[in-house]
């Protein structure tokens, strides 16, 4: 299936059905299909052909998301560019991808004006929401479409590379992940297998459509579902829309779920329509997950990465409870079980596979796994050593096949000769009622080699001391793993998708501690 096939499948179930909704205005499937054909014609008129990369720089919006399907119809390659990245990072990604065209919102015109002159491959600039964009050489969306209005409709479809996704660059120079139609078809098939998805679901997209929230739309479309789009994060607005639109499915990273749990309107909001509230992208506190299961409803975990999108392992709402309805808290620290179309193993440093309960790197085999890193054969070879895709995560499989992610390999702290996994320390800290969020890293120490240090964000109105948190953690995981030092911060540095940036935390802690 090409990306446009997901839209066409939904349209075949009824063209008049709602497809994309923003601020109370709804576009039907027939309208979205028609606009996607217009975009495809305009791209071809602009000289964009099969295999050419096309960037989209936009906040969440129905028009920009419709352009994804127009790009697919032209046989071109969708390149989602995150609007919250720094200008330099987006320039680097567009240059790496070799984008021939960039579709952007007017609010990002200053950024485009800054970087476009340094991108010689970029020959087509289209502003999605301003007829007279303040960027040299750019044209307005409606005029761009009108110039190709009489061109024949040709649906090139997709057969191979359909998307180039930046890794974000938080650990060095960004890499481009090559995703094929087969990768996203596998991801969508797993989603439909592993989670409850009835006919015509309603999906609320608050998280960026450039990331997980975007690809989760594809299986929703196959069921003729409606996608309610939020242009900007707003927890109060999120709760209002769930109730108003009878939302059945949504996705949020843990940080935003914590904000939902702390919102004063939560308990007064009717969430009874929810069938599947996905969480992922970062580890979630087991304490707060138990709270979410009771106060929000059917939570559903997914684990993946850009290189193996979303569905390496899954844990459905039913998996969060025992048959008698009680919470299966013993599973809450896991990432679920390997997905039906994915093989997961644990690999030692020498490339051998280890048995249940033994820790090592989580490795994957599946048609879910990317084709490779764009123009980077060395990195591709490294990540696929020994015939497996290497996730960079340390973990283990238990006797029943549940996958436990212990930590990112690079986040492990070696203190006094012992391996301490930062995620385990963070889980212990998050069990304290006063802790809203935290990050644990290792800093150089003359005595211990590295010492465990925690940056903690306290819940509004809560009071707690560093010594109290250290003692609290020692009681749960022992003195070796407990932080030697705790600092309180108003907020933690985060990536554009809400992940805590450990490199930034470490750099700041090095100057403060």
Rounded CA gap, 344 and 360, in Å? 12
Domain assignment present for residue 160? The answer is yes
- The reported pLDDT for the residue numbered 157 is 67
Q: What angle do CA 51, 30, 182 make, to 5 degrees?
A: 35
Give the mean model confidence (pLDDT) for residues 53-73. Answer: 96
- The reported pLDDT for the residue numbered 167 is 80
- The reported pLDDT for the residue numbered 315 is 97
The residue that leads in pLDDT, 478 or 172, is: 478
Determine the structural domain holding residue 463 and report its residue range. Answer: 416-512
Identify the band that residue 172 occupies on the pLDDT scale cut at 50, 70 and 90.
low
- The reported pLDDT for the residue numbered 182 is 96
- The SS3 call for residue 121 is coil
- The reported pLDDT for the residue numbered 422 is 87
Domain assignment present for residue 483? The answer is yes
Query: For residue 171, is pLDDT > 50?
Result: no
Q: What angle do CA 132, 135, 137 make, to 5 degrees?
A: 90
3-state helix, strand, coil in the chain (%, to 5): 35, 25, 40
Query: For residue 176, is pLDDT > 80?
Result: yes
Domain assignment present for residue 392? The answer is no
Query: For residue 497, is pLDDT > 70?
Result: no
- The reported pLDDT for the residue numbered 271 is 97
Give 426-466 pLDDT, tens digit per residue.
Answer: 999 999 999 999 999 999 887 787 899 999 999 999 999 99
Identify the band that residue 246 occupies on the pLDDT scale cut at 50, 70 and 90.
very high
Identify the band that residue 478 occupies on the pLDDT scale cut at 50, 70 and 90.
confident
Q: Which of 180, 197, 231 is the last residue of a domain?
A: 180
Give the mean model confidence (pLDDT) for residues 146-173. Answer: 79
Summary mean pLDDT of the chain: 92
Domain assignment present for residue 45? The answer is yes
The residue that leads in pLDDT, 212 or 112, is: 112
- The reported pLDDT for the residue numbered 513 is 67
Identify the band that residue 411 occupies on the pLDDT scale cut at 50, 70 and 90.
confident
Give 251-265 pLDDT, tens digit per residue.
Answer: 998 888 989 999 999
Structural domain total, the chain: 2
What CATH number is attached to the domain comprising 62?
3.40.50.12780
Rounded CA gap, 478 and 483, in Å? 10
Domain assignment present for residue 409? The answer is no
Query: For residue 322, is pLDDT > 70?
Result: yes
Give the mean model confidence (pLDDT) for residues 190-207. Answer: 94
Nearest CA-CA partner of 367 in 156, 209, 109, 182: 182
- The reported pLDDT for the residue numbered 496 is 64
Domain assignment present for residue 326? The answer is no
Give 13-52 pLDDT, tens digit per residue.
Answer: 999 999 999 999 999 999 999 999 999 999 999 999 999 9
Rounded CA gap, 355 and 490, in Å? 42
Return the HEC string of 197-235.
CCCCCEEEECCCCCCHHHHCHHHHHHCCCEEEECCCCCH
Kind plus residue range of the DSSP H or E element containing 184: helix 181-194
Q: What angle do CA 184, 190, 193 make, to 5 degrees?
A: 145
Domain assignment present for residue 291? The answer is no
Give the mean model confidence (pLDDT) for residues 196-222. Answer: 91
Q: Which of 165, 180, 195 is the last residue of a domain?
A: 180
- The reported pLDDT for the residue numbered 181 is 95
Domain assignment present for residue 311? The answer is no
Q: Which of 124, 157, 180 is the last residue of a domain?
A: 180
Nearest CA-CA partner of 137 in 122, 128, 148, 125: 125
Of all residues in the chain, the percent with pLDDT exceeding 70 is: 97
What CATH number is attached to the domain comprising 500?
3.30.300.30
Rounded CA gap, 357 and 398, in Å? 5
Return the HEC string of 287-328.
HHHHHHHHHCCCEEEEEEECCEEEEEEEECCHHHECCCCCEC
């Amino acid at each position: 299936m090409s990306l446009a096939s997901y839209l066409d499948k939904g349209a075949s179930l009824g063209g008049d059905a709602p497809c994309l909704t923003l601020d109370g205005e709804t576009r039907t499937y027939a309208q979205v299909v028609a606009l996607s054909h217009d975009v495809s014609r305009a791209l071809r008129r602009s000289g964009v052909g099969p295999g050419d990369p096309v960037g989209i720089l936009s906040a969440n919006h129905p028009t920009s998301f419709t352009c994804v399907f127009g790009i697919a119809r032209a046989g071109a390659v969708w390149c989602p560019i995150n609007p919250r990245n720094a200008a330099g990072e987006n320039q680097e990604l567009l240059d790496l991808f070799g984008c021939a065209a960039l579709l952007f919102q007017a609010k990002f015109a200053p950024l485009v004006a800054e970087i476009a002159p340094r991108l010689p491959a970029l020959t087509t600039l289209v502003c999605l929401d301003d007829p007279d964009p303040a960027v040299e050489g750019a044209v307005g969306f409606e005029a761009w479409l009108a110039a190709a209005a009489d061109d024949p409709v040709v649906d090139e479809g997709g057969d191979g590379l359909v998307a180039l996704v930046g890794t974000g660059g938080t650990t060095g120079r960004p890499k481009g992940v090559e995703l094929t139609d087969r990768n996203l078809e596998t991801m969508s098939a797993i989603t439909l297998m592993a989670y409850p998805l009835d006919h015509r679901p309603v999906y609320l997209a608050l998280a960026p459509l450039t990331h997980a929230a975007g690809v989760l739309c594809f299986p929703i479309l196959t069921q003729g579902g409606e996608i309610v789009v939020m242009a900007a994060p707003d927890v109060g607005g999120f709760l209002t829309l769930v109730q108003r639109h009878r939302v059945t499915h949504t996705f949020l990273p843990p940080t935003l779920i914590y904000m939902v749990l702390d919102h004063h309107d939560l308990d007064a909001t009717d969430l009874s329509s929810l069938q599947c509230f996905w969480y992922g992208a970062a580890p979630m506190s087991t304490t707060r997950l138990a709270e979410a299961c009771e106060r929000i409803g059917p939570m559903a975990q997914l684990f993946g990465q850009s290189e193996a999108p979303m569905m390496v392992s899954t844990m459905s709402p039913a998996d969060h409870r025992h048959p008698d309805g009680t919470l299966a808290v013993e599973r809450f620290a896991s990432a679920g079980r390997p997905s039906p179309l994915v093989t997961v193993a644990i690999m030692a440093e020498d490339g051998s596979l280890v048995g249940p309960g033994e820790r090592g790197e989580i490795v994957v085999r599946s048609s879910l796994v990317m084709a490779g890193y764009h123009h980077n054969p060395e990195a591709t070879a490294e990540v696929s050593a020994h015939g497996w895709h290497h996730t960079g995560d340390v973990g283990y499989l238990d006797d029943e096949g549940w996958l436990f992610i212990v930590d990112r390999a690079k986040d492990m702290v070696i203190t006094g000769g012992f391996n301490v996994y930062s995620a385990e320390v963070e889980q212990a800290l998050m069990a304290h009622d006063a802790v809203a969020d935290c990050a644990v890293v290792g800093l150089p120490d003359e005595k211990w080699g590295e010492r465990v240090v925690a940056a903690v964000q306290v819940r509004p109105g809560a009071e707690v001391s560093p010594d109290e948190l250290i003692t609290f953690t020692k009681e749960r995981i022992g003195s070796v793993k407990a932080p030697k030092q705790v600092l309180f911060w108003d907020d933690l540095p985060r990536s554009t998708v809400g992940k805590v940036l450990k490199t930034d935390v470490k750099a700041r802690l090095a100057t403060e501690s």
